[in-house]
Every structure is written in structure tokens, then in C-alpha cells.
Amino acid sequence: EAGVAQSPRYKIIEKRQSVAFWCNPISGHATLYWYQQILGQGPKLLIQFQNNGVVDDSQLPKDRFSAERLKGVDSTLKIQPAKLEDSAVYLCASNIRQQVLYNEQFFGPGTRLTVL
């Protein structure tokens, strides 16, 4: 079974530039998550989708971050404009729809973003 795919794996940009990350969850997984993991910290949930609808985006800095999952499958996370403090690993995860609370999340390899 193919895992969660993410691209690019690494990205280096200058502050105030824009960047986009892509995620393709495991086939059949209706729930998709984007996390930000700063070095030395645990992952912080940015946004959760159920199919193509947003379930929770309370921790997404909406002035600069946006995310979409138009067809309920793959998803894009964008940062515009980037700040130095956005340097982190951006992790995408998915799990099956039923009983989301009790099911394992499967993570992709992440995108390591460096903002200079």
C-alpha cells in the first residue's frame, strides 16, 4: 500500500517569498491533516480536512497561510509571504474517516522549509 506522498522534500526561500507544498494521502483516507513541526517541538496541527471540507483551521495563521483540498484527495498548503519563523518541517498525515478520534494517523516524509 502506498504511503502519504509529499513534495518537495526540501525548499529554501527568502523571506517574503511564496511557497507551496503538495500532499497526496493514502488512497481512501478521507481525513487529511497539515502539521508544522519546528525543531525540538512536537507537530502542531495547522488544518484538518474531511474530504474537501475544513474541520479545524483554528491554528492556521490565515493572514499568510492557506490550504485547499478541492477534490477531496490531494491537498496544497501555501505560505505567502514567508517569514523567518516559518522555517520548519511541514508534515501531512491522513487517516480513515470512521472514528477519526481513535484511528492512527499516517504521516508523509514531510517538507523541510528553510526561510533565509
Partner 1 sequence: RKEVEQDPGPFNVPEGATVAFNCTYSNSASQSFFWYRQDCRKEPKLLMSVYSSGNEDGRFTAQLNRASQYISLLIRDSKLSDSATYLCVVNMETGGFKTIFGAGTRLFVKA
DSSP string of 48-97? EEETTEEEE-TTS-TTTEEEE-TTSS-EEEEESS--GGG-EEEEEEEE-S
For the segment 50-89, give every residue that binds partner 1 (CB under 8 A): 55-56, 58
**Candidate segments 15-23, 36-44, 69-77, 79-87, binder of partner 1 by CB under 8 A:** 36-44
**109 near partner 1, judged by CB under 8 A:** yes
Q: Which residues bind partner 1 (CB under 8 A)?
A: 33, 35, 40-45, 48, 55-56, 58, 91, 100-102, 104-105, 107-110
